[in-house]
Amino acid sequence: MKRKIIVEPDPILRKKCNPIEKVDDEIKKLMKDMLETMYDAPGIGLAAIQIGILKRLVVIDISKDEKKNPLFLVNPKIISQSKTTSVYEEGCLSLPGQFAEIERPSECLVKYIDLDGKEKELKADGLLATCIQHEVDHLNGILFIDYLSKLKKDMIIKKLVKHKKEIERIVV
């Protein structure tokens, strides 16, 4: 089932998410919904907080073609990051139409629990590393605009407020 994505500014996006104790059917169902919502948007990553659920859950799929390759991360925790950095022009499903160049560590090692409840470790680089770091930020109430100057950040938020008003306005 597709869920509604929360758009900045919204105080929910600034909350800290809670860890999952057990990967049960309810969590699996929720992650399937998150994946469907992400594919539909479309996006390459989505955290549960973006659909208003304050749980440490992330779905990612950076595959470009039709062959899907979803990654389900329960309680993801970044345990190390490289000193070298890389820059990507980032967007976010909670910041529609907004993009900015963000510098992050180019590699990271992430520990997480998979859909079968097994503990896993993944060493990521390139786009995947950036995507994981972006999503883990969401779980801590951080958005990519927080890395920008106050001026740039305020400009983006102003645009989003205007955008929100526009989508609410209807003539019937």
Q: What residues make contact with Zn ion under the rule CB under 5 A?
A: 92
In a 3-state reduction of DSSP, which class is residue 163? helix
Q: Which residues are catalytic?
A: 135
Q: Select 47 or 74, whichever has its Cβ closest to Zn ion.
A: 47
Least distance from Zn ion to the Cβ atom of residue 84, Å: 23
Residue nearest to Zn ion (CB): 92
Least distance from Zn ion to the Cβ atom of residue 95, Å: 7
Q: Select 92 or 136, whichever has its Cβ closest to Zn ion.
A: 92
- In the chain the first and final C-alpha atoms are separated, in Å, by 28
CB 92, CB 100: distance < 8 Å: no
Least distance from Zn ion to the Cβ atom of residue 58, Å: 10
Q: What is the DSSP string of 55-82?
A: BSEEEE----SSS---EEEEEEEEEEE-
User: Would you give the distance in Å from CA 97 to the centre of its chain?
Assistant: 15
